[in-house]
């Protein structure tokens, strides 16, 4: 599975309904699972981003579908990145160096 890290900001709508944020996280986890991915971690943060989310997905398309679903509700906007663990990075380096 591929790992994706998303930096999340609440929209005005999301801030107004901040009391529901943990319930929304459970709904997001279920939606991600229904797509064949897994919500590995979710953290609420202080600073330029309101949350950090880690999702494992079988492919880029599944991760993108999950993020579109959550953004489409209107409570958050995301900036997402594909992440690589050490073994994946070793394989990338091996491919790059021939």
pLDDT of residue 75: 95
The answer to whether the beta carbons of residues 21 and 44 sit under 8 Å apart is yes
Q: Per-residue pLDDT for the chain (98 aa), expressed as one digit of tens each?
A: 999 999 999 999 999 999 999 999 999 999 999 999 999 999 999 999 999 999 999 999 999 999 999 999 999 999 999 999 999 999 999 999 98
Is the pTM for the entire model greater than 0.75?
yes
CA dist 90 and 44 (Å) reads 31
Name all domains of the chain by residue range, CATH numbers in brackets. 2-97 (3.30.70.920)
pLDDT of residue 98: 86
């Amino acid at each position: 599975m591929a790992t994706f890290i998303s930096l999340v900001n609440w929209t005005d709508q999301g801030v107004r309904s901040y009391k529901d944020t943990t319930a929304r996280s459970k709904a997001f986890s279920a939606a991600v699972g229904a797509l064949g991915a897994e919500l590995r971690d979710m953290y609420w943060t202080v600073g330029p981003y309101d949350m950090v989310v880690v999702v494992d997905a079988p492919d880029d398309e599944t991760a993108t579908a999950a993020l579109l679903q959550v953004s489409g509700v209107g409570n958050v906007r995301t900036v997402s990145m594909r992440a690589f663990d050490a073994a994946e990075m070793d394989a990338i380096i091996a491919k790059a160096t021939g």
